Amino acid sequence: MNTHDRQILHIALPAIISNITVPLLGMVDMAIVGHIGDATYLGAIAVGSMLFNVVYWLFGFLRMGTGGLTSQACGREDRVEQKRILLRSLAIATAVSFFFILLQLPVRNLAFHFLGATPEVRVLASHYYAICIWGAPAVLGLYSMTGWFLGMQNSRFPMYVSVVQNVVNILCSLLFVFVLRLKIEGVAWGTLIAQYVGLFMALWLYMRKYVAQLTEQVAMKEIFHWEAMKRFFLVNRDIFLRTLCLVAVTLYFTSVGARQGDLILAVNALLMQLFTFYSYFMDGFAYAGEAVCGRYLGARQRVDFYATIRRLFLWGGGLMILFTLLYACAGTSFVGLLTDDSVVLTEAILYLPWIAFIPLTGMSAFLLDGVYIGATATRPMLISMLVATMLFFAIYHLLSPLISNHALWLAFLIYLSARGGLLAIYLPRLYPQ
C-alpha cells in the first residue's frame, strides 16, 4: 500500500464508520414508524426529514467551505488561520440558527406549500418539525466543527461524535415511541437530544486536543475582519447556489411522490434510504479527497494532488462494483427490513432495478465533489450542478406522461451522471502546470 492509499484510508475509514451511522439512523427511524402500521407515518417522517434537509443543506458550506479552507491552511501550516476559520464558521452558524428559529413558522409553511403532502401527513410532519427546529444551533454548529476536523486531517473525531450521537438518537427514539407511546413526537425528541449531545461532544474533543496546540491569540476583530469575511463568503457563494440546485431536485423528488399519494411517497422514501446508504460510503472517500487534496494544494504539491485523485477512483470503483451487486441481488431483502407493510413492499419492488444503477451513475459525482471542495474550486461545481439540474427537470417532464414514477428515477440517475461527467471533463484544468 503506497503513501497516498494510507493517507486516503486514514481519513476515509473513520469517515465511513461515521457516515454509515447516519443512513442506519434514517433506516431505524423509518423502521420504527414503519412498524406503527400506517403509511401516513412513513410519509410524515419523509416530509419532516426533507424539510430539515432543505433548510440545513442550504448552509452546507459551513461544513464544506470550512473543510476546504482549513485543509489548505493545514497544508501551509498556518495555525493562526486554522483557528480563525473555526471561530468564523461557528459565529456564522450561530447567527444563521438564530434566524431559523425566529422564522420557523414561515419556513415550515413555505416548505409544506412546495412539498404538497396530504393533510394527514402535514399534521404529523408539523409535530415533528415543531420539536426538531430547536436543534438548529446544534446541527449548524456541528457542521462547522466537522468541516474543521476534516480539514485538520482528523476524521476520527467526527466518527466518535457521529457514533455516540446516533446511538443516543436510536435509544431515545425506541424509548419514546415504544415505551412512552409518543409515536412521531418520540422520534423527534430522540433526534433533538442526540443533536445537542453531538455538539457538546465535538466541543469537548476540540478542547481536549487542539486548545494546547493552537495557543495563538485571535482577536474578535480578526474573526469578523471585513476582508476575511468577504473571502469566506466568496468561496462559499457557489457552494450555496449549488446547494440550491441540490435542494430543488431533492424537494421536487419528494413533492412528486407526495402528489401521487401516500403509497408512492412512502415507496420513494424507503428506496432513497438505499441511495443514502451508498452515498455515505462514497462520501467517506470524498472526505478523504477533500482533506488530502486540499492539503496538497495548500502545500503546492501538484504531482501528489493528482496521484491522490487516481487512487481515490480505484477505491471508489471497487465500492461501485460491490454496491451494484449488493442492490441487484439483495434489494428486496433490504426493503423488507424497513417495513412490514405488504402493500408498500410490493410497490417498492417495482422500482428496485433503478437502485442497482445508482452506484455506477453516482461514483464520479461523489468523489469529485470532495476533490473540488478541497481545492475550493467551487465555480465548476456550480456549473455542473446547474446543467445536471436542468437535465433532471427536462427528462422528468418529457417522460412522466409515459412512465410516471419511473421517469422520476430515470431523471435522477441521469442527473447524477451529468454531475460527475462534467466535473471529470474539467479535472485537468483544476490544478494546471
CA 376 to chain centre: 18
Please give the pLDDT value at position 156: 92
* CB proximity list for 347: less than 8 A, separation 6 or greater: 263, 264, 267
The C-alpha atoms of residue 339 and residue 275 are separated, in whole angstroms, by 17
378: cell is 467551487
Label residue 117 by pLDDT band (50, 70, 90): low
Whether residue 357 lies inside any domain: the answer is: yes
Please give the pLDDT value at position 250: 82
Model confidence pLDDT, tens digit, residues 219-248: 666 666 666 677 777 777 888 899 889 888
Whether residue 406 lies inside any domain: the answer is: yes
Whether residue 433 lies inside any domain: the answer is: no
Alpha helix (H) ranges present in 103-224? 104-115, 119-132, 136-151, 156-174, 184-209, 220-223
The C-alpha atoms of residue 46 and residue 272 are separated, in whole angstroms, by 10
Percent of residues, the chain, with pLDDT higher than 70: 91
Model confidence pLDDT, tens digit, residues 5-17: 888 999 999 988 8
* CB proximity list for 365: less than 8 A, separation 6 or greater: 416, 417, 419, 420, 423
The C-alpha atoms of residue 374 and residue 235 are separated, in whole angstroms, by 11
Per the structure, the complete domain to which residue 13 belongs is given by: 3-428
Model confidence pLDDT, tens digit, residues 136-195: 999 999 999 999 999 999 999 999 998 898 889 888 888 888 888 787 888 888 889 999
Question: For the chain, what is the domain count?
Answer: 1
Model confidence pLDDT, tens digit, residues 55-96: 787 788 888 889 988 999 888 888 888 888 898 889 889 999
The C-alpha atoms of residue 144 and residue 126 are separated, in whole angstroms, by 27
Whether residue 398 lies inside any domain: the answer is: yes
